[in-house]
Amino acid sequence: MSSDRTVAGVSPARTARPLNLADLTNVMRAAAAAGEVVGVIGGGSKINQGAAPTGLDVLISTASMNRILEHAAGDLVITVQAGAPLADVQRHVASAGQWLALDPPEVGATAGGIVAAAASGPRRLRYGTPRDLLIGLTVVLVDGTVAKSGGKVVKNVAGYDLGKLFTGSFGTLGVIAECTFRLHPLAPARRVVTVATDEPAVAAQRVYASGAVPTAMEWDGATMTAVFESIESAATQQAADVVAVLASTGGEVGEVTDTVPAGFGARPWRPSGYGLKLTHRIGALTEVLAVVRDTLPEAELRAHVGSGVTWLGAAYVETEVIEVLRTALAAYDGGVVVVEAPVELKKQIDVWGPARGIDVMRRIKDQFDPEHRMSPGRFVGGI
């Protein structure tokens, strides 16, 4: 088939759309026989993230591999094909009073894409990231071999953990075919406390001082939102306790509602602008914000408070500024990834920046993809 999508601005010669694991295996075997360079796309919501591949012959779309294969509601486990949209998965499990505790903001995100990009949202504070919820994975390797790890029950930890390797690998080790996730019960009630502040770390300390356990805390540059999801009485009491502590410590008055504010979890950038992901020690948020304010004062910010992730958006960011931020954040065990930028610029800059363990990553790449035919150049260090 002809190509109708690009990967970070690179167009493949053709696109293949397998329907199931057997189809995908055949596509990969044919690509191996022809020595073709392979890329992967799911819903396309994150296809411009990561670095541009150095070449691309065939783009494998998992969009037609979109079925829910098994939902063991009693075990709080679900197995889906990689192309299953997260929204469809959530609707399916909601009928059993459950949800997959992942909330990345990208519209159209699929199960496989979320795992491949290690995508998450504000509720990572309580539930973790995809690697924490993924308990089983089926992948097709570059030569067409099918590999599986994990199982359908949460306690199964036997075998080689492909899930940890493939989470965040951006299609550079193989193609994710099926995912098995741990589910959580849907909370029957929600209370949301919002407080105006330019010191989110201080506000977070006050939240924790109340003894409350938030599901998520996000700061949008002016207001911090703390979410409490539990049974009615617990959610109500936690919100009341937080408001009381804020008042007693001289902080701003917290407002309690039942709904999160518009834009909660959204990234602070526009498609035509620049978007950076800053990672850092959880306790270094105040220092990191000071660095950003000094270096790029016009930037829009959002922080996953308590998770060590801050998002930065701007109309334009000079390459030198990115390097200044990387140097500064290294002091806080952090880094800077260029998530959003014009695709032509992404071909010219180091999107990922320095990474610990790069030698180990390269050895893993060589083991899984010795000819470097899986999305070459997409990941850290040109992997």
What gap in Å lies between CA 334 and CA 312, rounded to an integer? 14
Backbone φ, ψ for residue 62 (5° rounding): -95, 15
Cβ atoms within 10 Å, residue 297:
7
Cβ atoms within 10 Å, residue 273:
16
pLDDT of residue 24: 98
| Per-residue b or e along 213-234, where b marks 16 or more CB atoms closer than 10 Å to that residue's CB | ebbbbbbbeebbbbbbbbeeeb
372 DSSP 8-state letter: -
pLDDT of residue 251: 63
pLDDT of residue 249: 73
pLDDT string in tens for the chain (383-residue length)? 334 578 988 999 999 999 999 999 999 999 999 999 999 999 999 999 999 999 999 999 999 999 999 999 999 999 999 999 999 999 999 999 999 999 999 999 999 999 999 999 999 999 999 999 999 999 999 999 999 988 654 433 344 588 999 999 999 999 999 999 999 999 999 999 999 999 999 999 999 999 999 999 999 999 999 999 999 999 999 999 999 998 887 666 789 999 999 999 999 998 789 999 999 999 999 999 999 999 999 999 999 999 999 999 999 999 999 999 999 999 999 999 999 998 888 888 899 999 989 999 999 999 999 999 999 999 999 99
pLDDT of residue 89: 98
The pTM for the full model equals 0.94
pLDDT of residue 159: 46
What gap in Å lies between CA 368 and CA 142, rounded to an integer? 7
Given a contact cutoff of 8 angstroms between Cβ atoms, the answer to whether 193 and 219 are in contact is no
pLDDT of residue 152: 57
Given a contact cutoff of 8 angstroms between Cβ atoms, the answer to whether 68 and 92 are in contact is yes
